[in-house]
A and B are shown apart, each in its own frame.
Chain A
């Protein structure tokens, strides 16, 4: 529920008028308080990227990009195969924790509607589901211990191999951040060509006055760095491994 999302702490602004008056003065005019129309962009080349692609073409493009450029895998499966696929993936990612593996699941309803994470539990593998009501400490502790985090992505962008995550009470920020491996579930019907479409959707939400989620992440593969001699190392502070799973819902 949207209404519940507003926060109690009220915000504040300091020193604004002096600061902005000075800017207006330097620009040689009076303060502008309204009626600034942002110009329409001169070109539409950003809309032209993969404009006429079908969902299947977008899927192929995404798979190709993640494989060739990000060095990671993207699977495309039927909904019925999800439990089995995750079982395999989790086992793979937990293999290094040779004693016992942990997977942390988002509680996103769309994800839980597709499978029951408890089905993945076995002697060597435990499962936790994000539970905001348990508070920061408990959830972060799970996230710290988990080998794998499974989250549900709103969209995926074919051009850049990106998944778009919205945080919510059900899907905390840490799930795709603290565990060594991330698994992102995304619907084939939610594949988009590029950031242009994803930001348009946000723009529309904002126009209606809706507060967008406090943390939106455009994630392209596992974390990485090239700060040492510009040599790319996959796995920096964030996850070291990532897999995208596209659910063929069409």
Chain B
């Protein structure tokens, strides 16, 4: 039995708890034992990406400490939060001790699909879902974490699921955290175009491994009343 820490992320903790719950269920099915270090908070992205790096450091340290209670891998169902934490060592350049501790955490941290495929060595979780789907590769996964093939490989092995390609597949959906509010118009234009490209191939499902993109794209799909079901990849991998 592999012991695993769950980094839930603030969005999954508050509004998208189902994603986190299902992550626990999926990992348990894959023979993992889940630990939830209670002192964990938010990775700090809203503040960090707005430039408030200095004042975010206490929270970063809290998060580091929260996961130092053991040495097991840390898994999270949100690529952007994983990427954010992996940047911590850079921010602590002037505090080498903390930089080293941050690096330890970063080394132990995995995005969910990355963990399943590369660490557990599983590429078929026995899922079944009939329909046509578009997968949105989030910027965080492909460009920040370098996780490109892992989710595709897991999805390819979902029985009954047909994957569809769309125009500008790897283009950002326009979320960008505080960008979606600060630059609301640009963000809106981007997500509109994304949904346009998705709708063109008339999928049954839109799948993504990042909650934030799902909220964004999903929010637009819902506004347009498109008959596309928005699913986190963990939803798909648990479908039977």
- A–B contact with Cβ pairs below 8 Å: the answer is no
Contact surface of A with B, Cβ cutoff 8 Å: none
Contact surface of B with A, Cβ cutoff 8 Å: none
